[in-house]
Structure 1
């Protein structure tokens, strides 16, 4: 079952992100989770089996494009189709809002994940992502 996260899910979601290896030391997962949950333009979707979170996907839109972050699958459940199901749920969430384009970022050295997304129909747009952290926010 895939659903939007609920109050009280933060700890389990962050634990899954940690177990799946999607956390980076420069990102605050609790802050990212809270920000997505309070925004009308984003959410965190979760797949649940036997009252246990087994996959998540943070999805948001900027008015033009949709974005996916923190796609995480319980390592013991990889290969069960959960990643594919989470992307499909993110696509539905975006389509309901009239968003027709979905983008995501993958570290260039993560060949297995790049291959997974290419298998789902994503393609490399040969663009460069630049970032600036705005202090004090």
Structure 2
């Protein structure tokens, strides 16, 4: 089991793309309708978002995409390599995402969890996140550009 103290957290680099997208698929956070490379590129376009990677012994073991919209912070693609899950790396990535937002003056962080993902719900509840009993609406306004 990995020690979260050994985890080196940093912003994603260009040469991390393949390793990160592979991790997302293995961890089950990638969805067929989302292009991971496009999502990463979009997150890296400006100063309002990034992808944080957690490396162990030079290999990417965990990620968290974090950003802010001027009002709230959001986190996506929280992933830990399957063989390293339940070892504190997810908790470390969430703390790093919270720190990233806190450094920008953002005081509230939100995330989306699929209704059937009990494991993720339990993880976030243990970290102090609460179900806000709200409904998220979505409308696709532009084809994947």
TM over 0.5: yes
- Deviation (angstroms), 1:123: 0.2
Runs ≥4 in structure 1, deviation > 2 angstroms?
none
Give the alignment's Cα RMSD to 1 decimal.
0.8
Q: Is residue 2:24 matched to residue 1:20?
A: no
Counterpart for residue 55 of structure 1: 62
TM-score of the pair, normalised by structure 1: 0.98
Instruction: Say if 2:97 is the partner of 1:104.
Output: no
Q: Note if 1:122 corresponds to 2:126.
A: no
Alpha-carbon distance, 1:134 to partner? 1.1
Q: Give the superposition deviation at 1:40.
A: 1.0
Q: TM-score, normalised by structure 2?
A: 0.92
DSSP-derived class of the 2:51 partner? strand
Match of residue 134, structure 1, among 135, 141, 144: 141
2:40 match: secondary structure:
helix
* Distance in structure 1 (CA, Å) of the matches to 2:30 and 2:69: 23
Please list every run of 5 or more consecutive structure 2 residues that lacks an aligned counterpart in the other structure: 1-7
The total of aligned residue pairs comes to 137
Aligned position for 1:66 = 73
